[in-house]
Amino acid sequence: MPLQVSLLVDLSEKDRSRRHAVLCVFKVEYRVWNPFRSKIASAILGGIDNCHIVPGAKVLYLGAASGTTVSHVSDIVGPTGVVYAVEFSHRSGRDLVNLAKKRTNIVPIIEDARHPAKYRMLVSMVDVIFADVAQPDQSRIVALNAHSYLKVGGHFMISIKANCIDSTAEPAVVFAKEVKKLQEEKFRPAEQISLEPYERDHAVVVGSYRTVKKKA
């Protein structure tokens, strides 16, 4: 994978002509990250303060689908990070496995995220859980996974599609209910943003897990 770095280094204060000597330039590859196809991208463009997915992070990604967003997460966490990508559908799972062949920081897991114990041999403790599972009981799914795999003080990021949870209620009411469910499971939601104009009636909630209060 081409590295996305170029270095310009000031070699000498005195020698003005050599002021900006180029030490090394790697090949840079920019890839389009489409906010209409990726909840994380739209959340970032929507102005989320912190998505916690950073270089070196271990991420448990629930609802990986064929891996479009997973590939971008893989770019961000880099060679020292890991993305445990869980997807139940075999059709998308096949694409995901193929993607993981090219990107060795992706651990492909074709299994049901409802039963985290099924993939307990494949996952370590993680720093972040991202979930895009669009299931009515998604808060429970995320909580089950966090309980086994999310470290103390880890973070979560959940995409909520109001329609999938309750298509008759107002989206704002659905979001509030989901936040409440999360709070009952040792999650501490910190921010919530709407994914308009990229997705309709979607929200992303970000926060921390098992947060320990700092002693005064």
Per CB under 8 A, residues contacting other proteins are: 82, 84, 90-91, 93-94, 96-97, 100-101, 104, 107-111, 117-125, 147-149, 151-153, 186, 210, 212-213
C-beta closer to other proteins: residue 5 or 125: 125
Which residues fall within 8 angstroms of residue 24, CB to CB, at 6 or more apart?
A: 6, 7
Give the nearest distance from C-beta 100 to other proteins in angstroms.
7
Give the nearest distance from C-beta 84 to other proteins in angstroms.
8
C-beta closer to other proteins: residue 88 or 192: 88
C-beta closer to other proteins: residue 70 or 96: 96
Nearest of 176, 206, 183 to residue 47 by alpha carbon? 206
Q: Residue type at 133?
A: V
- The CA distance from 192 to 126, in Å, is 22
Give the nearest distance from C-beta 97 to other proteins in angstroms.
5
Contact 156, 40 (CB under 8 A): no
Nearest of 167, 166, 171, 170 to residue 205 by alpha carbon? 171
Give the nearest distance from C-beta 187 to other proteins in angstroms.
13
CA 98 to each of CA 12, 49, 119, 132: distance values in angstroms, whole numbers, following the listed order:
48, 33, 19, 21
C-beta closer to other proteins: residue 48 or 146: 146
